Each structure stands twice: as C-alpha cells, then as structure tokens.
Amino acid sequence: MPMSFSSFSVSFSESSFIRPISLCPTPAKASLRSFPDAVHNFHSLTSGRLVCYGGAANFCQRFYGLRIWIMESLNLRQRNRKYGPANEFKSIRSQEKDHLTNHLETISSCEGQVIHVKNDSNEATRTTPQSEENSSPNYQPHVPVEVVTSMESEAVLQTHSSNFSFEGSKAPSLCIAVIGATGELARRKIFPALFALYYSGFLPENIGIFGYSRKNLTEEEMRSILASTLTCRIDHQQNCEDKMDAFLSRIYYLNGGYDNICGMSKLNARMEQIEGGSEANRIFYLSVPQECLLDVASSLASNAQTQKGWNRIIIEKPFGFDALSSHRLTQSLLTKFEEKQIYRIDHLLGRNLIENLTVLRFANLVFLPLWSRTYIRNVQVILSEDLGVQAGRYFDGYGIIRDIVHSHILQTIALLAMESPISLDGEDVRNEKVKVLRSIRKLEPSNIILGQYKSSSGDKVDLCLNSLTPTYFAAALYIDNARWDGVPFLIKAGLGLIKHRVEIRIQFHHVPGNLYRERIGHNFDLATNELILRDMPDEAILVRVNNKIPGLGLQLDSPELNLLYKDKYKVEMPDSYEHLLLDVIDGDNHLFMRSDELAAAWNILAPVLNEMDKKNIVPELYELGGRGPVGAYYLWAKHGVPWPED
C-alpha cells in the first residue's frame, strides 16, 4: 500500500464501496454521498490524488473511511508544521467549502451532467454516466471517480448559480421556498410581503428564501427582478437600503426544469447546502396553476421535505372547481401531507377587518348579549371591486363564486356567526367555524342573482369572459341553528362596479313601540341601529344611533359614531399577505380553511353550480362601472332589507 504526504492512491477493481442512488426516474448512478465521511475529506488531502474504482461492501467502505481519516489527520499536522497557522486557517476555510460537495450528486444526477470543482492550479472532474442498458436496480456499474485537490487553492463550487460561503454567518433556521417564483403573484405580493416581515424584524436575520421556477435565470438576475418590487414602510424607513441588500443576499434561485421530481430533488439539495446540516424548518409556497398543483405537491412531498424540522405548504385558491374535484384534491394532498401541514391561503382573509371580528365579538361585553336573532335583523357582507380590477384568463375558468364567495365570503360569515371557541387555538376556532358552515342551508336558485359586466365600445377593457362566467353574485343565506334562525345573511360580491367597497353591515331590529317613531322621519328603516365594519375605502368602525338634532323642537337624526383608523392609529396597515405569511410561520391556522370546512362550503354552493352547469341560470348583464344587476335590488326587498347606500 503506497502512502506519502504528496500523493495517496487506492484502487479497488472488484469490490465495491459505492452504491447507486436514484433520486430521479433515470438509470442507476454512482454516488459519493454513500460515504459522506470520505467526501468531507477529499479536499483536505495535501496535493493528494485519490483514484477509486468499484461498487460497495461494508468492510471496504469502513476501511476506506478509516484510511481517509488517518491521512487527513497526518496531512493536517504536516501542513501546520510546514506552513504555519495562516495556512491552517486557509485549510479550515477550504474544508468548510468542501462540505458543500455533499450535494453535487443530487444536483447533477437528474440531468447526467458533469460537475467541475475548479481550483487555482488544477481541476477535478467527476462524471456521472447514464446507460439505458444498465438501468436494472440490481446492476452495479463500474464507475471511476477521480478527485484531484490542491492545498494552496480554495475549492470553488461551480454550479448554475452563484457561489456562497458561510463564513461569519449562521446557517438558516427557517427556509421558505416560493414555487413559481417568477410569476406575477410572487413578484408583486409574496416577495414584497416577505421583505416587509424581514424589515420589520418578524423573520430571522439568517433566513433562507428560495425561488423556484422553470425560467433560466441566475441568482443575480432574480435578485435584480425582485429589487424593483421591494419598498420600505413609510412610517419607518431607517436603514432601508441596508435591509434590502441583506434581504436580497438571502434569496437563492433554482431553475427546476419540467421534471418536477428532479426539480424538487435539486431544490432539496440546494436547501440542504444552504442549511449546512443544521436543523431548519421549511415552508413551501405553491404559487402555481391549479392544473400543476398535485404534481408539484406530490414531488415536493417525496423529495424536498426536511427531516430536521417541520414542513408546511401554502396553497392558493381556488381549492378545486366543484365539490368532487375539491374532494379529490384534498384526498391526494392528505396522502402526502398531514392536515396540520396544509395552509389554504386566501389573501382577503388576511385583512385587519377579518382578524378584528372575533375581537369585537368576544372582547366587548356590549356586543355579547346582542349577537343573536333576538336583536339582529339582518347581516350584509359586501365586497365590490371598481374598474381597477378586471377579470382575466384564470377568472374566466372559475368565476366569482368559486374565486371569492366559496372562500372569503363564507369564511367571513363563519367567523361572524360562530359560537365562542374554547380558546384562540386555530383548531378550536376551526371547529366552531365548520359548525356554522354545516348549518347553512343549501342555496336555492330563487335566492341568488348572477350578473356579468358588459362594456361599451368606448371602454378599454378586455373582458376575457365566456357567456356564463359570473362577475357578480348576490344571495340570501340562512343559518339553521338556535342563535341565527330566521336571520338573513345577504351577500353582494361583484367586479366592475361603481365603487370599491368592502364592509360588513349588521342591522338591528326596530325598537318595539318606539315613542319617537313620528319624529324620526318618513324613512323608518334608516333609523335602525346599525354596526358597520368597513375595510375599504377607509377602514373604520361605525355605529349608527338615533340622536336629537340640536335646537328648538324635537327632531331626530341617525348619525354615525365613527372610529376612523387613519385618524386614530398613525401606522401604515400591513398587506394581507404579510399577516397570513406570519401566521404560517407561527403555526396559527385559524384563518386557513381546513378540509372539512372546504367540503361544507362546496355543499352550500353545489345546487347553484349544478344549475349553472345545466345552463338553467343565465347571468344578468350590467353596465361596467354601474351599480350591478337590477335583480339584486329585488332580492334585498324580498327579504325585507333596505338596499345599502352606494
């Protein structure tokens, strides 16, 4: 056995200590990851040359690892005597970088590419051959692996992306991967929300953020694209540029290609590389089209989850096309993930108005006895978008019922009408929400109005809609339980309307035997006490009361007592994505739909969707920028509810 400080070679032609590892559906390949101890020490051999041939045997594997460890110790002592402390430090730095080579096989095995580890004075090449003939799982190829190292130079890992070193920085304890990172949602909402959380101190300084898509970009190009979308808070802009630079430096990019199994294996290797072997939790935001969701989620579950912490996935709405497709999607996801790992996100539920519903109900004694059919006459949930929001290709396939009503509107009603949970734990809140959803009557076609906006020749709007895609939905819901029996919950949601408005209006009954009825005026309905929770245009809490007009005589008015947020709270309101992403990080899932909530919501809407599929319901046309279908006014009148002021 030849052995010296200048060179060291081993040759095993018959026995094997390399076992094939297959991460992707490609022929079997040799892998250096089968003996990580040896891999860690390749670059620490002083001017050494190691040539290995063969397959795997436990005895040879252990023997070889022992020899490498002995040679590493001898070489390190020799270098210290010959070159002094400075080169010892350089050797340590080189070993830190060499730790990254653990992941080379995973990154390259999906494509059969050659990976080069370049030094200043020499070059090491490892080739992963592919052979369709030898793809049998029992076949063990005779694979040469040659590594040449140099003590004087630092190894630089040459991959598709930039090079990274962990000198002076801690490995991340949290990694967030955005799948579909070059899409509009990711660029305009997700990454800006992550930066806002990072800037405000809600994310760890050493976080790792990974962009994953099919576009061939470098990390610098990806960072340049994202930099133009990031802004700092208006109310505290100190060190904005420094924070932005630090955030961008934590973003890594990976072109996953069109094979999701291989792509997720690459992502996992990249994340492990950045994590450096330490414990880290992972969040995967699936910002992908619905038709790709299952394949991406399945590949992720099998190839990209960490074993050293928790894993959570975020899924964008809509959650299926109907009850059947939603059930299939849910069952497929639950074969790969636990329910507690799945976060079905609806950005409209991240608004402060929604979070404040439970606070108003359960933290104010004045409302507790009033919150029932005894005092409440009707509840209205209104979401109207103006001309600034237009329907596109995605909306054309789903319409406003599947996009907004199924999730946002019904979740709002559930939070508004549920019983007090036993705690603020997410599961306790969800338990109460699903009880409400199961108590809601199935919608009857007679209690709904569908509409679709139309544009004139002068309107510069691309409708992108077929003849039956609704852009407006109005309905009357009833909750069949003791608290809400007989109280209509009226919904109005539409696009292309005259005004952007998001609010909840809770109207109370008239005062029995009102002594001042004749003093109120001709419209007695306007004198009804009302609680208005407004999100847009200006967030506010309004309470309509009856009051005497100052002066001689006795005339009553119905003014609004108001809490206007912009006057009371001198802070910039965070975006809804910031709120919901922080909830995912904290494990708070009360604003995310559970599988049983999902099924209950589809059950409510099923009769309407079935009638639409049979073309028995045709949307009523309304003017773009108008007040919506005329039929909605009659629906309100049918249930004895005054039309809300526009």
Torsion sign across C-alpha atoms 81, 84, 85, 88? negative
Q: How many CA atoms lie within 13 A of 577 on its CB side?
A: 17
- The stretches of 445-575 forming alpha helices (DSSP H) are 517-520, 565-568
DSSP code of residue 229: T
CB neighbour list of residue 184: distance below 8 Å, 6 or more residues apart: none
Catalytic residues, by residue number, are: 408
Q: What are the distances in angstroms from CA 394 to CA 48, 291, 390, 398, 557? A: 59, 11, 11, 7, 47
Strand, coil or helix: 615: coil
In 413-442, which positions are buried (b, 16+ CB within 10 angstroms) versus exposed (e)? Answer: bbbbbbeebeeeebeebbbbbbbbbbbbee
Phi, psi (degrees; rounded to nearest 5) at 402: -75, -30
- Nearest CA among 307, 335, 304 for reference residue 176: 304
- Nearest CA among 183, 181, 145, 158 for reference residue 49: 145
Three-state SS for 358-420 is HHHHHCCCCCHHHCCCCCEEEEEEEEECCCCCCCCHHHHHHHHHHHHHHHHHHHHHHHHHCCC
- The single residue listed with the structure tokens 């074969």 is 335
DSSP states along 560-607: EEEEEHHHH--SPPPPHHHHHHHHHHHT--TTS--HHHHHHHHHHHHH
Query: How far, in Å, CA of 305 to CA of 273, rounded?
Result: 14
Our CA angle for 13, 16, 17, nearest 5°, is: 125
